[in-house]
Amino acid sequence: MNRENLLEALGRKLDADKYIPMVIECEDGIPLLLSLIENDKSSVKFLCEKIIRRLSETQPEALYPYFERMSKLINSPNSFIKYGFILTLPNLIPVDCDGKWNGFIEQYITLLDTDSIAVFGNTVTSLWKVLEKYPGYEKVILPKLLNIDGHRFMHKNAVSPECVNVAKGHILDFFDKTYPNSKYKKDMLNFAEKNIDNTRNRVRIKAKAFLKKNLQEKHKISAGNSI
The predicted pLDDT at position 215 comes to: 80
Q: How many CB atoms lie within 10 A of CB 22?
A: 16
pLDDT tens per residue across span 62-74? 999 999 999 999 9
| Reduced DSSP (H G I as helix, E B as strand, rest coil) percent helix, strand, coil of the chain, to 5 | 80, 0, 20
What residue type is assigned to position 8 of the chain? E
Domain ranges within the chain, ordered by starting residue: 1-103, 110-227
The distance between the two most distant Cα atoms of the chain, rounded to a whole number of Å, is: 71
What pLDDT, on a 0 to 100 scale, did the predictor assign at position 86?
A: 98
Q: What is the pTM of this model?
A: 0.92
Cα dist. 76→22, 119, 219 in Å? 26, 12, 46
- How many Cβ atoms from other residues are within 10 Å of residue 190's Cβ? 14
The full length of the chain comes to 227
Amino acid at site 74: I
Q: Taking 80 as the threshold, does the pLDDT of residue 224 lie above it?
A: no
pLDDT at 216: 72
Cα angle for residues 122, 123, 127 (degrees, 5° grid): 125
Identify the pLDDT of residue 203: 98
pLDDT tens digit string along 114-158? 999 999 999 999 999 999 999 999 999 999 999 999 999 999 999
Instruction: Judge whether 198 and 161 are in contact, CB under 8 Å.
Output: no
pLDDT in tens, 169-178: 999 999 999 9
Q: What is the pLDDT of residue 221?
A: 58
* pLDDT at residue 227, rounded to an integer: 46
pLDDT band at 1 (very low <50, low <70, confident <90, very high): confident
Name the average pLDDT for the chain.
94
- As a whole number of angstroms, the distance between CA 207 and CA 11 comes to 45
